[in-house]
Chains A and B, each alone.
Chain A
């Protein structure tokens, strides 16, 4: 019974991560109420304070309404028709990788995520693998511990480093923040926790790999990254889900705290199942990501490549509190078929001499719709703040839409803000130029698209960049001609 089931590729889709791992799972009953939350909390052996916090969030959530301002159309989500916890059944908690269920290891292998530490390429990346609701393995922990770096699942962090978690959890994204963040706060099941101590440059890249497997299960993970003074970490996030006809809900939170002179680089390649070519199925991706540059001279950079999900609602943000802090946002979003994405960033300048840069590249094809929605806010105290934003959109085909809605709020005269946006299609001249030199149409499009995205891609770590470039090409396959 324990094997990985291939799903026949009937629709001709190119989503190669669409398989389902047939593994016995432990789930809690369907639906959402205070008892379910108590049950999740009990399963995870959480302390009283965390349960209280969850219940407060749940109570608050019940009074909230789902936001409708985004340019997204999707069927109403029935929050009572979901499982809020699903974990692969393991006899006992694995003490080392050798004890992790072979099936799970195989799954990650198949996804190209090496959980075996000895593998050559993997030597540079430590991985926290999250399968449905729980973290199944974290690699290289011993090696990281030597430097004092804590990298584990957030459930473990709650048990082993409760002071850190309690101090920072919800400090960047409070549970009252928004509808989906509030839901996440009530029901989050797992995620990664990173703490980089003072003065430490994390010796390798850290990575979380999220996988949704079970049917009708919402995934609600929560990542908390704390970069203490003078530290540095580069963090990667990847995600996939099986190909299913029904929509799956994913509502995650990433909180980053950056203290004085520290730097965090957060890269995402989001490749949730986008639905088939008729828009059936796919993941609803409602994510709240926010970094607080609390210390002076701190820096955060978000890089994202968004190719997956049927619906994306995501605005990685930077709160630039410390003087001279820096926020960066580099994004490539690709939508094809009936995908919809409403994504962008928020740069909130509060400290003096803060700078931010936004480079967003959107590519829409097929019948998809994409919106860049961003906010640049300069507070009265942000003397000499500087922002530069550039949002370019590329349209492929007659039936897609591309929209840009930047909000700019300036309350300080010394701030310099520049925003540029353009929308165009791949010009016939460019195509003709390539084709006249013997490059096929598809290849020419891919060449032009890669050039269009280059500015963002160069901010990704190398292995990720190669993977991301491939993904973009796969996502756009068949959109020309």
Chain B
């Protein structure tokens, strides 16, 4: 992939700060390269093939499609097509700042320090790659005490023109004091897309005092795609981050979430489900850092693995020295449907304070024969009975979503 690091004259090269950061990131990626299984963080998820295939960095083109995927709920939309922002198809909310990230960085120097503020490029090689080509993505700022009435959906759509594309997207979202919003991310593709591409997203969320963000994500990339997402969340006093991610597409995918609970009363709920078949590897990685006393986090991840697929979960709860009266829980469960399915799990507790309540649990197994038998004996066909059991298994996690519309949508997508 090193051949990729060609120099592209993206906007903003004349700003020394931006040029330097891109260069630093490019150098970091060049020296680290695509991680191999020897890198502990990528022990189970091998970004196979990413070295050899020649990806092409996505650039704006004049050909824009007119159709866009529909969401079964009302929402403002921000639309990316083959990694490029398409304002014509977007429907932006009023009274909220939404503009392309690159413009925001050029004209709003005060937000610059927020970009990659705490990202160690050596530890996150894909974030380095992302920053080396920092250009696409949006900047969203929701003012103090503003509550977005409708959901804000970002749709990333890839079609046949997306062959071999490397889409680097970087979003910066700020919720000012007391603001609240529901953000939906939907990664989808055109039915005919059978080629490889790499979506490499970095989301940075800053939740100021008392701000609350719901973050729903559905990853349904084309079956040969690679999807690497890094969500960096910074939660201030009494703020809350509540995330739910469904992964079902792509050949290789990681959804990584790092939450920093920085002040008292900050909380995080990071739930996910993954449903997989074929030869895919889907990875859910979390890193919840409790940096202040009285912070709370909960995680529930459930997976259903079929075919020759491999499910990966790596979850870390870190309690910093002095972060007392904290609570961190984590539970991962996986269902293996076939003989060739595999699941690799690495939960991790790292605790430096004594007055804490932390726990994690992990379990994996197959469908319960007795439950199947029970349903079969009542005249339910085997296929249907299995599907019912799988649905019920996932519903455990999906039912935690408060919003009915979203829960229904995710249930449908998970089938």
> B354 touching A413 by the CB < 8 A rule?
no
How near does chain B come to A226, taking the closest CB pair, in angstroms? 34
Residues of A within 8 A of B291 (CB): none
For B355, give its contact among A380, A410, A425 (CB under 8 Å). A425
Partner of A396, one of B342, B344, B354: B354
Which of the segments B66-74, B99-107, B142-150, B357-365 contacts the partner chain?
B357-365
- When A399-B321, A400-B354 are in contact, do A417 and B347 touch as well, CB less than 8 Å? no
Across the interface, A420 reaches (CB within 8 A) one of B321, B343, B354, B359, namely B359
Query: Out of B40, B321, B334, B344, which one reaches A398, CB within 8 Å?
Result: B321
Task: Report Cα–Cα, A424/B347, bound state, in Å.
Answer: 17
On whether the beta carbons of A405 and B348 are closer than 8 Å, the reply is yes
Report yes or no: B363 in contact with A423, Cβ–Cβ below 8 A: no
Q: Please, how many angstroms separate the alpha-carbon atoms of A419 and B342 in the complex?
A: 17
B362–A406 contact, CB under 8 A? yes
Distance, CA A396 to CA B359, complexed state (A): 17
Asked if A414 lies at the interface with its beta carbon under 8 angstroms from chain B, I say yes
B351 in contact with A398 (CB, 8 Å) = no
User: In the assembled complex, which residues on chain B have CB atoms less than 8 Å from the CB atom of A403?
Assistant: 348-351
Q: Is A416 an interface residue (CB 8 A)?
A: yes
- Other-chain contact of B351, A393, A407, A416 (Cβ < 8 Å): A393
Asked whether A422 lies within 8 Å of B363 as measured between CB atoms, the reply is no
Q: Is the CB of A412 within 8 A of B339?
A: yes
User: CA A404 – CA B334 in complex, angstroms?
Assistant: 20
B198 within 8 A of A: no
Considering only CB atoms and an 8 Å cut-off, how many residues of chain A contact the other chain? 34
A-side contacts of B344, CB under 8 Å: 407-410
In the assembled complex, A421 has its CB within 8 A of some CB on chain B:
yes
Which residue of B342, B356, B360 is within 8 Å of A404 (Cβ)?
Answer: B360
Is the C-beta of B337 less than 8 angstroms from some C-beta in chain A?
A: yes
B361 adjacent to A419 (CB under 8 Å): yes
**Complex Cα gap A41–B359 (Å):** 50
Residues of B with C-beta under 8 A to A159: none
State the Cβ distance, B84 to closest chain A Cβ, in Å. Answer: 40
Chain B positions within 8 Å of A411 at CB level: 342
Are A415 and B352 touching (Cβ within 8 A)?
Answer: no
| Contact partners of B322 in chain A: CB under 8 A | 398
The reply on A443 being an interface residue by CB < 8 A is no
Q: Is B345 an interface residue (CB 8 A)?
A: yes
The chain B residue sitting closest to A428, CB to CB, is B355
A69 beta carbon closer than 8 Å to chain B: yes
A407 touches B342 (CB 8 A): no
- Asked whether A238 is an interface residue with its Cβ less than 8 Å from the other chain, the reply is no
Q: List the B residue with the shortest CB-CB distance to A392.
A: B359
Answer whether A410 and B357 are a contact pair too, CB < 8 Å, given A403-B350, A423-B351. no
Enumerate 30 A-B pairs (CB-CB under 8 Å) in ascending A order.
Answer: A380-B339, A380-B340, A393-B349, A393-B351, A395-B353, A398-B353, A398-B354, A401-B351, A404-B348, A405-B349, A406-B362, A407-B344, A407-B346, A409-B345, A410-B334, A410-B345, A410-B364, A412-B339, A413-B336, A414-B366, A415-B365, A416-B364, A419-B361, A419-B363, A422-B358, A423-B356, A423-B358, A423-B359, A424-B358, A425-B356
Q: Which residues of A contact B (CB under 8 A)?
A: 69, 380, 393, 395-425
